[in-house]
Structure 1
Amino acid sequence: MTDTLAADPAHDFIARTLADNPVVVFMKGVPEQPRCGFSQVVVQILDHLGVDFIGVDVLQDDSLRQGIKTFADWPTIPQLYVKGEFVGGSDIIREMFQSGELKPFLVEQGVLAA
């Protein structure tokens, strides 16, 4: 039996990107120019906290846009990953930020200075 995910270039790219970068946002557009309001919210929150992250534009490649949804089994974009783990989409990140949970979480993960 073959592993279909291993043969998927989009999944390989996603896994490599997550392995190489501590904080990744798969988003519509780029951090300097988000192409949807939800992506913009996540970028603004991370910028506000001073988190060093990379943004991956899923609009550049349809297989990537579909692949990230199946990768995390999460239907919407943007998606925030910290240390390779899926954290959440726009609503979850906004709620964590507003409740004060996001900053301590990022500090605990070692991706933000206390």
Structure 2
Amino acid sequence: MSNPVHDWIDSVVKSNDVVLFMKGTKEQPMCGFSGRVAQILQYLDVPFTDVNVLASDELRQGIKEYTNWPTIPQLYVKGEFIGGCDIVTEMFQNGELVKLLSDKGIPHRAPTA
């Protein structure tokens, strides 16, 4: 049976190169973890779509079911689930995130040492 929320999430993930499902918005994060991932993407000048999971309980629950991942935020690049705050932060710190963005052809700014 089709789930309308999952179908909507799927369409957003597949039609945007970089999507961050977060609490709040990139302009006004409502949680530190969401804010940190948004800050990393903004620091790297990555164009991304933000989806506020606080807009609806269905969406907040639906994204967790969609990935089978219990926490928010969730980052997707070219339709692939990358991870949450800890994973994205670690990937940013060790250079894997920039490599991933380059490999996927996502425009970004190289971080300064």
TM-score when normalising by structure 1: 0.92
Task: Summarize deviations over 1:43-82 as a string: whole Å, max 9, x none.
Answer: 0000011100010000001111001001111000000000
The 5 Å alignment of 1:85-100 reads: 85-100=80-95
SS of the aligned residue for 2:106 comes to coil
Q: Which residue of 2 aligns with 1:65?
A: 60
Q: In the TM superposition, what whole-angstrom CA distance separates every residue of 1:76-109 from its partner, at most 9, and x where no partner exists?
A: 0000000111000000000000111111111111
- Aligned residues: percent identity? 57
1:51 aligns with 2:49: no
- For structure 1, the residue ranges without an aligned partner over 5 or more in a row are none
Matched, 1:22 2:17: yes
Partner of 1:12: 7
Runs of at least 5 residues in structure 2 that lack an aligned partner in the other structure: none
Measure the CA separation in 2 of the matches of 1:74 and 1:45: 21
TM-score scaled by length of structure 2: 0.93
Q: Quote the residue 2:72 is aligned against.
A: 77
1:66 is paired with a residue whose SS is: helix
Aligned residues: 109
**One-letter amino acid matched to 1:103:** V
Counterpart residue identity of residue 35, structure 1: M
Question: Aligned equivalents of 1:18 and 1:105: distance in 2?
Answer: 17
